[in-house]
């Protein structure tokens, strides 16, 4: 059985699942990598989700985005890229059309321009509204430590609604992720999404992507640790066990697929779409 799974980010309402089911239906291609990329592109183009067009602003009002793609034996990502419509496509080009695995900041933007990606303003009224809400809460100057941020702000303000997709098609695996980060970030912050093993991992035995508080996911190398347990017990149990290691206040979600199983699990509501064929 072939399968494509999308998620709209931990904390995204389940009422969005019908939209993601439609995107999954539309995104299916003849191979796994094409399917996950097109899935993420659809979510990047939908302002509802925190990726591409729907990305949040950082404290300095900039919009810096992360994205990554992975197949067994190869990986590409962009970190803190700005002013492009579909960061996940640039991440694929880093993997397929450059000698590198990761490009960041101005270098990622320059690479995109060299390949013909147009300048694209991703700032929206949604991002402006959220920015104003967050800034209104900041008192006594800029908070520089993430731990202090968590003490001073409701944890729900830190949720970033990363989007992602995993696929198994004709025995091939692929994974892709994209995010505009969280609404409360310093410029230059890097989350889990563009880091292999943290927010994404794909190998010969399956594909895993995560969503949640990036700093916490990075510390636990969540996706690689789930992947490394494949075959030792049912996939759903592996995912639940790893998510249970997080503090109850930290929202975390995972979608994963192996050769004969798949799992969709989160510690709070998470919209998702599935297409089997």
Pair 192, 229: CB distance under 8 Å: no
83-116, pLDDT tens digit by residue? 999 999 999 999 999 999 999 999 999 999 999 9
Question: Which of 15, 162, 179, 182 is an active site residue?
Answer: 162
Active site residue 162: yes
Say whether pLDDT at 128 is over 50.
yes
Say whether pLDDT at 149 is over 70.
no
CA-closest candidate to residue 164, choices 259, 21, 36, 75: 36
In the chain, where are the structural domains located?
3-276
Return the CATH class of domain 3-276. alpha beta
What pLDDT shows up at residue 181? 82
Categorize the per-residue pLDDT at 138 as very low, low, confident or very high, splitting at 50, 70 and 90: low
CA distance 99 to 170: 28
CA distance 83 to 96: 21
What pLDDT shows up at residue 155? 46
What token pair was written down for 157? 């303000």
Q: How many CA atoms lie within 13 A of 180 on its CB side?
A: 35
């Amino acid at each position: 059985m072939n399968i494509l799974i999308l998620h709209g980010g931990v904390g995204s309402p389940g009422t969005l699942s019908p939209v993601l089911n439609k995107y999954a239906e539309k995104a299916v291609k003849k191979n796994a990598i094409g399917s996950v990329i097109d899935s993420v592109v659809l979510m990047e183009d939908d302002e509802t989700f925190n990726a591409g067009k729907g990305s949040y602003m950082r404290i300095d009002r900039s919009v810096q985005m992360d994205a990554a793609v992975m197949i067994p034996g190869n990986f590409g990502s962009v970190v803190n890229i700005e002013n492009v419509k579909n960061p996940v496509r640039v991440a694929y080009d880093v993997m397929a059309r450059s000698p590198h695995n990761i490009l960041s900041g101005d270098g990622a933007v320059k690479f995109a321009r060299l390949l013909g990606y147009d300048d694209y303003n991703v700032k929206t009224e949604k991002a402006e509204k959220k920015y104003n809400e967050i800034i209104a809460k900041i008192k006594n100057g800029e908070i520089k430590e993430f731990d202090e941020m968590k003490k001073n702000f409701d944890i729900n303000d830190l949720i970033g609604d990363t989007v992602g997709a995993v696929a198994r098609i004709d025995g091939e695996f692929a994974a892709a992720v994209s995010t505009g980060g969280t609404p409360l970030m310093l410029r230059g912050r890097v989350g889990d999404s563009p880091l292999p093993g943290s927010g994404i991992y794909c190998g010969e035995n399956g594909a895993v992507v995560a969503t949640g508080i990036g700093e916490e996911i990075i510390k636990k190398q969540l996706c690689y640790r789930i992947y490394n347990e494949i075959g030792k017990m049912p996939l759903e149990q592996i995912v639940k066990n790893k998510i249970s290691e997080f503090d109850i206040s930290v929202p975390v979600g995972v979608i994963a697929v192996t050769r004969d199983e798949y799992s969709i699990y989160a510690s709070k509501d998470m919209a998702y779409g599935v297409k089997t064929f």
